[in-house]
Chain A
Amino acid sequence: MSLDQIQPPVGPETTASRIPRKRMSLWSLYTRRFMRNKPAVGGIVIFVLLVLFAVIAPFIAKYDHIELDFLNLSTGPSAEHWFGTTSAGNDTFAQVAIGLQRSLMIAVSVSVGTTVLSAIVGTAAAYFGGFIERGILLVIHFLMVIPTFLILALISNDAGGDWRVITLILIFTGWFFPARVIWTMALPLRESEYVNAARYMGVPGMKIVMRHLIPNIGSLLVINFALGVVTAVMAETGLSFLGFGVKIPDVSLGSLIGYGANTISSAPWLFYFPAGALTLLTVSMALVADGLRDALDPTSAAGGQA
């Protein structure tokens, strides 16, 4: 359904009073469309619960995530250790909470970083055109050929598992593919009247990009952000699982699953809990992204009426 179909009929006397109300109704329209998508609502509930868990659990846990309980080595879930312990005596509950916190932190910062960077580069390429556009596209294509996973592994291996370094390189290797998508979306905007008007009024190019192009692909960016969280979680977990990412004493969901994989038949709870948390995190965020797409994209028929 397109937006114009749900706007109230406009009489001449309502035009003035309509302007503030229209802005409100757009937001409530988005919320309403989003809320109608039950899986998406479920996704956001799960995501919020996971964030709450990551924030609160370290305070209610009986043990610190690096504290060792030598009386309970590699024991299953119990009243004392809710998620069991590792063979060294670490409390898995505390570890999963900290690991989730770390993974979330990396994922959200990476997604913010790549979205901002790709939006600026992609729209700038579309707006300026000419040799700037060709140059940016050449760089993007070139970066697509270099196996980014290898660069990630090389640099993070060298950095010794510092999560801030991992975040930075995930941003660096993650921006160019979305930038290419955004470039194609922004191309038609280059020719639009309001951009032309701004140009003839003498507004500098970068200002037009920031003020007119980027807000107009805002909905795409919001969806990109949600999907970027999923991608970043996946990348970070993969790296940490292989031993290139976050390293002891720091833990992330990936490194926890890595330890769990070694004891999968003798101590499966070391795998179950971090794997469960990871799956809930990625699936919930994907459902949210789905709901956002339905709510924000006016051409999408998936949202149903209004």
Chain B
Amino acid sequence: MIKYLLRRFVGWLLMIVVATNVTYFLAWAFLDPRSNYVGRRPPLTHDEVTQLLAPRNLSDTVPLVQRWWDWFSGILFRWDWGVSAVGESVNEQVAYRMWISAELVLGATILTTILGIALGVYTASRQYKLADRVGQATSVVTMNINIVVAALGIVLLAIGFNDLVGARVFFVTGSHGQDVTGFFPVILDTLQHLTLPTLALVLVGYAQYHLLQRTLLLDNINADYVRTARAKGLTKQKAIRKHALRTSLIPVATQVAFTIPAIFTGAILTERIFGWNGMGRYFLDTISKNDVHGVVAVAAFGALLTAIGAILSDIAIVVLDPRVRVS
């Protein structure tokens, strides 16, 4: 099994490397770092801009192949992802913003998964009863609300709630307050900032796991091995928990793992609406500022998430599916 996972890991690593390099050339085809210096007062000449950009490996006077090699060898040998056109280090930016995004995405992913699977199991064991019908109707609607609409709707509600209470219970923008110190104040402050964006991500995300888990569990409840377990005297609840749930979790786990990058894209919109300085914001900034190295770093981050998702789904299958362990 270790060997299998290792082989998958190497395969993905290769994919990431190729994808990142392709993005590097793509970024150069669409972005022009020189334009950052257009319209400066006093205006800079072509040569002056070149002198600024050349030490940052962003000057188009150097052949593309050489720029690429300088950039790639920098990552290979020094893990240096380069600097932006105005000299900010990409490494520093990503290292700082990664955790802000992770704070949002991790919590939301865990909540979404647990809520979705729990609802799926609950409604599947009550097929066509009121709870099932209401749950399904709600899920179809929430799943198809655009994340932008959901997030802004939540902002409106939160503003209304804050006005009603007369205090700022929820913060609509930013990931952290200024000058908050002490253990409990920091936690409280984080929660105040985290609640709304997490709510938005969970609201539009939980439903797909709910519906998937419900369908899979319903398929499995009637399977032979569950009926055998029932015939041997297990109660329905116990048969579902011990036998049907395990097999029906496999596709859900795969789905969860593969949506990790999608959650990240969803977080771009959420971060923009709630004013978080995470990877999503960095993504927008780098494109608008023609920051070639930053764009490529974001792409590599995304590719890495996809690979992590895929490997996690492999592990989940190995852990959950008894048939895989035999071979």
Known A-B contacts A257-B148, A283-B144; A145 and B306 likewise in contact (beta carbons under 8 Å): yes
Q: Is the interface of B mostly helix, strand, loop or mixed?
A: helix
- Nearest CB in chain B to that of A261: its residue: B152
Within the complex, the shortest CB–CB distance from A224 to chain B, in Å, comes to 16
In the bound complex, how far is the Cα of B35 from the Cα of A158, in angstroms? 13
Known A-B contacts A242-B284, A286-B140; A145 and B303 likewise in contact (beta carbons under 8 Å): yes
How many chain B residues sit at the interface, stated as a range, is: 35 or more
Known A-B contacts A241-B269, A286-B144; A39 and B261 likewise in contact (beta carbons under 8 Å): no
B152:A257 contact, CB within 8 angstroms: yes
Select A271's contact among B146, B152, B283, B303, beta carbons within 8 Å.
Answer: B152
- Nearest CB in chain B to that of A276: its residue: B149
In the bound complex, how far is the Cα of B148 from the Cα of A264, in angstroms? 13
A238:B144 contact, CB within 8 angstroms: no
A141:B144 contact, CB within 8 angstroms: no
* Residues of A with C-beta under 8 A to B272: 241-242
A146:B140 contact, CB within 8 angstroms: no
A290 interface residue per 8 A CB criterion: yes
A275:B153 contact, CB within 8 angstroms: yes
A149:B265 contact, CB within 8 angstroms: yes
A296 interface residue per 8 A CB criterion: no
B141 interface residue per 8 A CB criterion: yes
B53 interface residue per 8 A CB criterion: no
- Nearest CB in chain B to that of A300: its residue: B215
B27 interface residue per 8 A CB criterion: yes
B146:A150 contact, CB within 8 angstroms: no
B306:A153 contact, CB within 8 angstroms: no
B306:A144 contact, CB within 8 angstroms: yes
Of the candidates A150, A279, A283, the one having the most CB atoms from chain B within 10 angstroms of its own CB is A150
**Size of interface on A: residues with Cβ below 8 Å to B:** 40
B283:A238 contact, CB within 8 angstroms: no
In the bound complex, how far is the Cα of B269 from the Cα of A242, in angstroms? 7
* Residues of B with C-beta under 8 A to A144: 306
* Residues of A with C-beta under 8 A to B16: 145
Within the complex, the shortest CB–CB distance from A252 to chain B, in Å, comes to 12
Within the complex, the shortest CB–CB distance from B217 to chain A, in Å, comes to 14
In the bound complex, how far is the Cα of B138 from the Cα of A39, in angstroms? 12
In the bound complex, how far is the Cα of B119 from the Cα of A272, in angstroms? 30
User: How would residues 133 to 157 of chain A score, 1 for a CB under 8 Å from any chain B CB and 0 otherwise?
Assistant: 0000000011011110111011101
A268 interface residue per 8 A CB criterion: yes
User: How would residues 195 to 208 of chain B score, 1 for a CB under 8 Å from any chain A CB and 0 otherwise?
Assistant: 00000000000000
Query: Which of chain B's residues 120-156 have a Cβ closer than 8 Å to chain A?
Result: 137, 140-141, 143-149, 152-153, 155-156
B143:A237 contact, CB within 8 angstroms: no
* Residues of B with C-beta under 8 A to A290: 140
A287 interface residue per 8 A CB criterion: yes
Within the complex, the shortest CB–CB distance from A156 to chain B, in Å, comes to 10
* Residues of A with C-beta under 8 A to B265: 147, 149, 238
- Nearest CB in chain A to that of B296: its residue: A150
* Residues of B with C-beta under 8 A to A242: 268-269, 272, 284
Of the candidates B146, B155, B284, B298, the one having the most CB atoms from chain A within 10 angstroms of its own CB is B146
Query: Which of chain A's residues 221-267 have a Cβ closer than 8 Å to chain B?
Result: 230, 233-234, 237-238, 241-242, 244, 254, 257, 260-261, 264-265
A157:B287 contact, CB within 8 angstroms: yes
B146:A234 contact, CB within 8 angstroms: yes
User: How would residues 194 to 237 of chain A score, 1 for a CB under 8 Å from any chain B CB and 0 otherwise?
Assistant: 00000000000000000000000000000000000010011001
Select A268's contact among B22, B145, B156, beta carbons within 8 Å.
Answer: B156
B273 interface residue per 8 A CB criterion: yes
Within the complex, the shortest CB–CB distance from B4 to chain A, in Å, comes to 17
A238:B287 contact, CB within 8 angstroms: no
3 closest pairs, A vs B, by CB? A147-B302, A286-B144, A282-B144
Q: Write 11 A-B pairs (CB below 8 A) sorted by A numbering.
A: A146-B299, A147-B23, A147-B299, A149-B302, A150-B298, A237-B146, A261-B152, A271-B152, A275-B146, A275-B152, A286-B144
- With A238-B269, A279-B146 known, 18 other A-B pairs at CB within 8 A are A145-B16, A147-B23, A150-B23, A154-B30, A154-B31, A154-B287, A233-B146, A242-B268, A242-B269, A244-B287, A257-B148, A261-B152, A275-B146, A275-B149, A275-B152, A279-B149, A282-B146, A286-B140
